[in-house]
Every structure is written in structure tokens, then in C-alpha cells.
A and B are shown apart, each in its own frame.
Chain A
Amino acid sequence: MQRITREMLTSKAISLLNDGTVSAVLGWREGEFSYDLTPSLFYTAEDIEQNFVFNDFCGANFSKYLVTKTLGIEGKILAFLKPCDTYSFNQLLTEHRIDRSKVYVVGISCDGMADISKIRAITGDGISSISCEPDGLKVQTIYDDEPKTVSYEDAMAERCICCKSKKHVCYDELIGEEGEENPDCNRFGKVAELEAMTPDERFAFWRGELSRCIRCNACRDVCPACTCEKCVFNNPNSGAENKAPATSFEEQMFHIIRAFHVAGRCTDCGECSRVCPQHIPLHLLNRKFIKDINTFYGEYQAGKEVGSRAPLVDYTTGDLEPGQVFEREGM
């Protein structure tokens, strides 16, 4: 597949800005480090030419930004969306959180993004710069004289390895080729592994994972399925915002409720696991719900179609009984 380059995006952005199709561009700017990019709005061609960044660390899902960024702006915002982002975008349209007429979606094809922690595991700490070369990522650390090369394959984020779809479910224009859905991605493999364990083993696994949570709330802040305006986490007086972990129950409760709130609406974009500073595999909670929904109520992919009804606000008279859940084969 043709790799998407920065020039492809900047020339598209500048021409759309110049002909008045859009009045702002949502893109990436350099952050503290070359692998740590900051999503940002660009209003002028000069700014784009000088500061727009696109590389293998542009994993952030832009759809949630559009909820607030489209509010106070004249005209349209140009958003570059990867295939997985378009599912979240559609889901937000379904929930009437984004005004479609305020967004100009340019779909960009995607071969998978890099995960800095995987790179770090290979090169060691102290990364000072990374450049994306055709044969891999050249990583310079402060401890080495020569840069080390990490292949794109070794650096690829976990969520991109079992990517559910390379197909854009929504766009105005496409850069790169249209991809396909990937039903054989085996994204439920790890969930099935956990299901096969004994309750004691599962409990030990989850306690080990969840007790590391520092309650930074990044997972909920980044989630495009989590956009209510009156959320307790947005209320500084609620005390929920900076809750220090008191007992492990606190974490279990938080995580069950977080996952339940997005059950049936989570598009499996993987953002929550990506941003977690403690590397807690939150996607394994979301995917459990997705897997259950698929087996109990039929295949459902949130965000695939605008206007589809989420499984938890729907029912049939013949649904399975909660008691039958465990009578099923292999449970």
C-alpha cells in the first residue's frame, strides 16, 4: 500500500483552506518529543507548512475533538480520520454529538501506527529522537552513539495488529486506497483465553492489572463514546476527578462502570488502552462486552452505520435469560 506522507496531507489541507471549503484544519503539532504529538487546530497555510506533523505516532482518534471544536467555529473543520476513527465519528453522529455539516472528513488509509512503549522495550529508555525512514524507525537514545533501527512491524501498536477494519465508513474524500473489513483479525483471542481460565486465575489477573490504576482518568477523557456534558468526571466539585486509589475495590468499580457505560457504543478504537500510562489492557474489558453482545444478540459493530440502535437500548422478546449465559457451551 502507498504510504501516506506529510506532504499529501498538507497539500490537501492548504488547498481546502485556500478554496474556502474549510476554515480550520485539525492536525498534529510537535509536542515535547518527536513521538509525542499534540492534536491542534491550524487556521493558516503558513502555520500548516511550518508546523504540521504527520508520522507513525499520529494514532490519536480525532473524532472526539470534533464534538467541542465544531461548536464555536464558522464554516467547516477539516479532519483527517483513519479507518478506525470513522467508526467513532459515525457513532458520535448517531448520538447527535457532532453536526455533520460542520466537518469535512478526509479519510486516510492506515497500515498501523507505532507504539512508543514497544519501541522503548527494544531500544531502552532515553529516546531523544525518532525519524521515520523507509526501512524502519531510526531511534536515537542518549546512551547510544548510533541510532538503532526498529522495524515498523516490531513497533506496531497492539491494537493495530488485530485491526478490525481498514475500511472508512464515512468520508468526504479519501487519500490512499479504500480498505476492507477484517473479520479474521482475532481481536477476541485474548478474551477467550481469559474466559477459559478458572475464576481464581481471572481474579488474580484482573486484580494485578487494575490495582495498578492511578485513576488519572485519561481512559475516560480520551474515549469518544464518553462525551456527556454533565459527567461527574467533568465536575471539579464532585471529587471524582482526582480520586486517589483507596482500595482495589475502587478500581474494580470504576472500571466495570466505565466499560459498562460504553457497552454497545464502544467502537473498539483502542484509545483507552493507548493512553493508559499504566498500560492496563482496558480493551479486554470492552471486547468482553462486544464479544458477549455478538454472541447473545447477534453481530453488532458500533459506528458501522449511522443511526443503528445500540444493543442495550434494544431487545427482542426471545432474548436469552441471564441465567442461561453460563449454561452456554464453553463458558
Chain B
Amino acid sequence: MQVNEYKPLIVAFCCNWCSYAGADLAGNNRLSYPDNVKIIRVPCSCRVNPMFVLRAFQRGADGVILCGCHPGDCHYTSGNYYTRRRMALLFSMLDYLGIERERTRVEWCSAAEGAKFAQTMNEFTEAVAALGENKRLEDLRCKE
């Protein structure tokens, strides 16, 4: 086994009411997903300001994924509909600036979908690992 195997740093913004509970369920079911997925709990996917995503990249994230309730199931009725538009535009803009599109993702994942959560994180981590480190949005001042 390679000792220095590259592990991408993934930041996952998870809505408290669905994906965060989904992550819990994945844990309870002993499903494994990479430990380098750092979950940040938010009250609703709509809480995620585009700045959060950029900040995560600035501080060294290699990929950022946003998970929320399925459209129609948001606990605040319509939060994730706004998220959907916002992130579609933001990710399209990042792509336009030359940031690889595989580094960003939005996935809807309910509290009952522990298996989907684990699978999504595995897939996403793999996709980001294939790209390697994020050099394009990093900030040298934030490096150790």
C-alpha cells in the first residue's frame, strides 16, 4: 500500500433536516465513506451563501458538495428551490473561470437515504481525487 496516497479534502454542506440525518443514518448502518469528507451542518441548503463555497476553496478544499432536501421537501418550503438556481449559476460561473466542473456538486439526499449519502460521497471523492489538488482557487496565505 502506498503511504502517501493523495486524499482530497472535501467540504460537504449538509442541511440539518435531511442530508445531515442521512449522514447519521449512513453511520448507524456502518456504511463507510471517506473520512476526509468534512461535513458542515447548515439549517437549510439555502443558508449556503456562494461566499461559503469560495471560502472553502480558499482554505484548501479540493471539492465542495452541497446536500439538501429533495425539491419539494424543504422544511422551509422553498429554500432549496433558491439554492438550486443560485448554485446552478455559481457552478456554471466557476466552470467559466476554468475551475474544473467536477469539483462542485449539488445532491439532494433525504434523512432516509443513508446509502445514497455514502455512495454520493464515495463517488464525489473519487472524482475529485482524479483531478488532484485544487490549485486554481487556493490562497497561498491559507497554506500551512
Contacts and interface: CB of A to CB of B under 8 A. Distances in A.
Contacts of B93: 256, 259-260, 285, 288-289, 292
The secondary structure that dominates the B interface is: helix
B97 A247 contact: no
A233 interface: no
B139 A200 contact: no
Interface range on chain B (Cβ under 8 Å from partner): 35 or more
B96 A195 contact: yes
B100 A289 contact: no
A298 interface: no
B113 to A, nearest CB: 16
Interface in A278-331: 285, 288-289, 292-293, 296-297, 311-317, 319-323, 325-326
B98 A200 contact: yes
Interface stretch (B2-10, B11-19, B76-84): B76-84
The secondary structure that dominates the A interface is: helix
A320 B140 CA distance: 35
B110 interface: no
A236 interface: no
B81 A257 contact: no
B88 A322 contact: yes
A250 interface: yes
B88 A321 contact: yes
Given A256-B50, A256-B54, A319-B84, A250 B139 contact: yes
Given A249-B137, A317-B72, A203 B88 contact: no
A259 B134 CA distance: 22
5 contacts: A199-B100, A202-B96, A247-B139, A263-B89, A325-B88
